Structure 1
């Protein structure tokens, strides 16, 4: 054998091998398909019978009004979009987002309902497909079918269900952020969609910090550039509204909502309900949010370094919602890919811990088993007034976030104390 041949053989053996795409086992695949069809059909039946509860699209109607105002050169911030009560139905998104809503003004009747409901479901399916791809599954027809079935199951995830009902933008934001994070680091466009998402609603800007701590500086720069582009467009088309929004309207509590609102499912909301909105509330929240964000970014970096990209993105997305000043239940859409992560882990790992973790999380984010029998319930969290422990019960998503970060830290610690194996390297926490 020649020296050239030997060197070539050694180089090829030393080169890292691309991971072999995984496939869903037949039993798991058909179980997911059957469960997804049953869940999706039952949800559709409930929508038909209780349309005003499960698909009223009232927020989509508010977006439509915003788009109509933009097209008629009327400010979206000077007065509420519905009614005349300040703090109720105020437009809280950016001027750039108001411009994106302009096409809604031409959609009416059954087409409006179809676009609002089916459009969100299609984006949910694509989000599931992207998440499964990030887990290493082979992109084929079986995966597409599984994504549709999983989306059917996720209709019973409370944030997804409420986003569908209100016609909110949250699933769209989830899609473009997770699609952006799924791009290879070599892509020159990575980060742009995250910047655009932040230009629609500010909270996705948290992902810029994730890109920075994982040393994806070009992607972080592209995200900042994408966000800056939305600002420039907003000021060019809506200069007065842009000045109003960026000069303080975006942090005005009378627009966003008071911190101790019972529907504020964020860390700030929990603290405000515990200690009140006066005194040290602000400092406690900032300290707690800073600590939670720092822990999240550290763990997300570790997850990303070990190839568990979806797990890292989920940690960032869930924590982003927890530390936000105000988070409605329907803002917690990153709980959907969390369920996909945990479900994948439960299928691949033996024992009881992973399946029980998945089932416990599914129970919490479904708003309880009662929702499966009576989906017209807005939220099981509302039962907290009936002698339930409100600190634990009403802030369930905050405690779920804490549990997620703790479980991730434990899993990462254990993975560093034993010999690495393919299973550990692939694991999604």
Structure 2
């Protein structure tokens, strides 16, 4: 409940108190006379209640300590847990594959050939570019449990960092964003995409953090674009964030992003030219290495089409092109109105929609989307738009907490034979993402000045 209350409260926060956008109770002096500005309309009861709830949380050391303790409890529970092969650590099959890929590189084996079986007995291929295997070599030289624990801690820290930066981008001071980060982080760490990211030992939240740090924390710096380039070199889908720089006409950041991606890829060629040539000429174009697109966990547009029996690459490509052009136009308007956080989130959601495969654990970008939409709902109170956005947030929170595609009697095969209503419910991640993009186009507050220059 504390996370939900804090969800509705992203505005200027200073020294444990909240400075409301419409506060006008300050006296001014004009011509030696004390004049009081005209009163603005009173806030709605709901808005006042939420304001007071956040004031209470930010001013209470006990409540803040409880929020921090609960997040630490979740992090410890997600990191050290039993049962498993090691009684104190969660086994993660994708992390195991990363480790095997790093070991293959160190041994000089074929990175994209047949790897040894994982500890779970499965034989899975390495699907990332060679530079990723270079980074994963660290997992091959440290104990399995230590590496998995470090990856989980980095994943949790990445999500908390993303929340902090998004809150700052929406107008919270650094102090306010820091304390609000904990109740929101408690919710985020329990969403299904985050739980699956940790359970599989994936790097989705870390890649998202690289992008968000680059877009917001590095804004205006000569090296902005370098982390987007690194994320792109590790996994190709972050390439969509180059459009963020393109629409902003930030040519330097765009050049740095492209240049850094080429640099990291070149390092991969220098270290392992054979594997690099194999990846970029063959592995990248091999759809069988990433799994069956019709599997229930693939919540991308292509997954929905495959489950519906639409086996046409042209249809998928045309739909992705139309949605992509709409997202570019939306991002331009969001920039115009100062909604940089939602502009970045738009590209994150589009990457999930348009990627051939977006497994459930890839959908970590819904967390910043939920935060931004909740902030907009607060700004619209008491308009009907606020309640529409709040309903969208509530539905999204339920969807990404539970994963409807796993609630429909998940079949054993890779192409579920679902009824019509199951087809709709089974692609709930996709439908909500499209609804969020539509809401951004129709319900974004107009002419909202960017707040990144107001941080303390």
- Range class of TM-score, shorter chain: 0.7 to 0.9
| Alpha-carbon separation, structure 2, partners of 1:276 and 1:80 | 33
Describe the superposition over 1:252-310 as per-residue Cα deviations: whole angstroms up to 9, x where unpaired: 01112232233221101111221343xxx100000011111111111012111211111
| Alpha-carbon separation, structure 1, partners of 2:300 and 2:160 | 27
- Number of the residue aligned with 2:25: none
**1:225 matches 2:259:** yes
**1:127 matches 2:162:** yes
Post-superposition offset of 1:113:
4.1
- Number of the residue aligned with 2:139: 104
2:95–2:148 CA contact under 8 A, matched in 1: no
Aligned length: 385
Post-superposition offset of 1:425:
4.5
| Alpha-carbon separation, structure 2, partners of 1:113 and 1:224 | 31
| Alpha-carbon separation, structure 1, partners of 2:123 and 2:326 | 35
2:111–2:126 CA contact under 8 A, matched in 1: yes
- Greater alpha carbon shift after TM alignment, 63-72 vs 380-389: 380-389
1:380 to 392, 395, 407: 407
| Alpha-carbon separation, structure 2, partners of 1:300 and 1:381 | 35
- Number of the residue aligned with 1:62: 97
- Number of the residue aligned with 1:254: 288
- Number of the residue aligned with 1:305: 336
| Alpha-carbon separation, structure 2, partners of 1:46 and 1:184 | 30
1:57–1:116 CA contact under 8 A, matched in 2: no
- Number of the residue aligned with 1:294: 325
1:243 to 277, 295, 320: 277
| Alpha-carbon separation, structure 1, partners of 2:165 and 2:116 | 35
1:250–1:256 CA contact under 8 A, matched in 2: no
**1:397 matches 2:429:** yes
- Number of the residue aligned with 1:152: 186
| Alpha-carbon separation, structure 1, partners of 2:298 and 2:339 | 31
1:40–1:155 CA contact under 8 A, matched in 2: no
| Alpha-carbon separation, structure 2, partners of 1:357 and 1:172 | 26
Gaps of 5+ in 2: 1-10, 19-50, 452-456
Give the direction of change, closer, same or farther, for the CA distance of 1:382–1:425 in structure 2 (3 Å limit).
farther
| Alpha-carbon separation, structure 1, partners of 2:78 and 2:98 | 25
| Alpha-carbon separation, structure 2, partners of 1:389 and 1:43 | 37
2:129 to 94, 97, 101: 94
Post-superposition offset of 1:61:
1.5
- Greater alpha carbon shift after TM alignment, 262-271 vs 314-323: 262-271
Describe the superposition over 1:206-243 as per-residue Cα deviations: whole angstroms up to 9, x where unpaired: 11123212212221111110110011101000100000
Describe the superposition over 1:323-349 as per-residue Cα deviations: whole angstroms up to 9, x where unpaired: 001111111110111122123334444
List aligned pairs for 1:200-219, cutoff 5 A: 200-219=234-253
- Greater alpha carbon shift after TM alignment, 73-82 vs 391-400: 73-82
2:78–2:198 CA contact under 8 A, matched in 1: no
| Alpha-carbon separation, structure 1, partners of 2:249 and 2:450 | 22
- Number of the residue aligned with 1:358: 393
2:334–2:342 CA contact under 8 A, matched in 1: yes
Give the direction of change, closer, same or farther, for the CA distance of 1:294–1:243 in structure 2 (3 Å limit).
same
Q: TM (normalized to structure 2)?
A: 0.76
Q: TM (normalized to structure 1)?
A: 0.81
- Number of the residue aligned with 1:137: 172
List aligned pairs for 1:79-90, cutoff 5 A: 79-82=114-117, 89-90=124-125
CA RMSD of aligned residues (A): 3.0
- Number of the residue aligned with 2:232: 198
Give the direction of change, closer, same or farther, for the CA distance of 1:72–1:37 in structure 2 (3 Å limit).
same
Gaps of 5+ in 1: 1-19, 371-377
